[in-house]
Amino acid sequence: VEFLYCDLASMKSIRQFVQRFRAKNCPLHVLVNNAGVMLVPERKTEDGFEEHFGLNYLGHFLLTNLLLDTLKQSGTHSHNARIITVSSATHYVGELHLNDLQSRYSYSPHGAYAQSKLALVLFTYRLQHLLTANGSHVTANVVDPGVVNTELYKHVFWAVKVVKWMTAWLFFKTPEEGASTSIYAAVSPEMEGAGGCYLYNEERTKSADVSYDEELQRRLWTESCKMVGIFDESSRVP
């Protein structure tokens, strides 16, 4: 195991991380996009993005795109490289505001978090479409880990913390249990060659209806490319 520093809330840090990783000339068979914050007070990343959208979504969007060439070179016909992105059941109530992705006009911690998690699902489906169109040996899937007992809840209201403390043993998954579906997506032979799936408890299930809107997927992808400053190669793909 080797550690390389990467701050997903910093576009500069992400680019530096990718440079350091590429310099090692290592293959990349599995990328798990798992960083995140939840219900933080209104604040911005160093690049000026609303923190939920900037860290949870845009950071992973940029990281994945910068590593795509390495992933494509690492995958083979019999062993695809795999991209696993961790979303949340919260995406079911999320709304994507393309005219206000930064929640500048009306900030709600719950709304901003749900939007970032919906964006991750839309991103995964569009990414898989592009990978298939290019004939790449890379698959992209999205995972719902369930309700997991981690420090992600540190910004919730104090009464919720008390309830969580009292009931976590009964209703919350352990971190190990929460990781199981991501691990399943990353290494299971059953997922070989399968992409564009939403997984919960190691089973394929249906995500929110709006997440299958291909026009919304395209528009989010194009806007995301502008926001992080990369060329939108998907413009050539219908």
Mean pLDDT of 198-219: 96
pLDDT of residue 148: 45
Higher pLDDT, 138 or 178: 138
Q: Within a domain: residue 60?
A: yes
Indicate the range of 60-74, 99-113, 141-155, 209-223 predicted with least confidence.
141-155
CA-closest candidate to residue 62, choices 127, 8, 117, 133: 8
Q: What is the CATH number of the domain that holds 88?
A: 3.40.50.720
Select the more confidently predicted residue: 152 or 221. 221
Q: How confident is the model at residue 220 (pLDDT cuts 50, 70, 90)?
A: very high
Q: How confident is the model at residue 157 (pLDDT cuts 50, 70, 90)?
A: very low
In a domain, 143, yes or no: yes
Q: What is the pLDDT of residues 45-70, one digit of tens each?
A: 999 999 999 999 999 999 999 999 99
Structural domain includes residue 178: yes
Cα Rg, the chain, nearest whole Å: 17
SS (H, E, C) the chain: CCCCCCCCCCHHHHHHHHHHHHHCCCCCCEEEECCCCCCCCCCECCCCCEHHHHHHHHHHHHHHHHHHHHHHHHCCCCCCEEEEEECCHHHHHCCCCCCCCCCCCCCCHHHHHHHHHHHHHHHHHHHHHHHHHCCCCEEEEEEECCCECCHHHCCCCHHHHHHHHHHHHHHCECHHHHHHHHHHHHHCHHHCCCCCCEEECCEEECCCHHHHCHHHHHHHHHHHHHHHCCCCHHHHCC
The residue written with tokens 């062993």 in the block is 79
Structural domain includes residue 3: no
Residue 1 lies in a domain: no
Residue 4 is assigned to a structural domain of this protein: no
Is the predicted pLDDT of residue 106 greater than 60, yes or no?
Answer: yes
135 within some domain: yes
Cα separation, 179 vs 173, whole angstroms: 9
Q: In terms of C-beta density within 10 A (0-12 exposed, 13-18 middle, 19 or more buried), how is residue 176 classed?
A: exposed
| Average of per-residue pLDDT values in the chain | 88
Q: Catalytic site residues? A: 113
| Residue 2, domain member (yes or no) | no
| 150 pLDDT higher than 60 | no
Residue 224: pLDDT band (50, 70, 90) is very high
User: What confidence tier does 146 reach under pLDDT thresholds 50, 70, 90?
Assistant: low
Determine the pLDDT at residue 129. 97
The letter for the amino acid at 19 is Q
Residue reference for tokens 């520093």? 5
Enter the pTM of the model: 0.88
Lowest mean pLDDT, pick from 14-28, 29-43, 47-61, 63-77: 29-43
Whole domain around residue 154: which residue ranges? 11-236
| Residue 203 backbone zone (phi > 0: left; psi -120 to 50: alpha; other: beta) | beta
Select the highest-mean-pLDDT range: 88-92, 179-183, 206-210.
206-210
Number of structural domains in the chain: 1
Q: Which residues, in sequence order, are CB contacts of 204 under 8 Å at separation 6+?
A: 197, 198
pLDDT of residue 149: 47
Q: Looking at residue 228, what is its pLDDT? A: 97
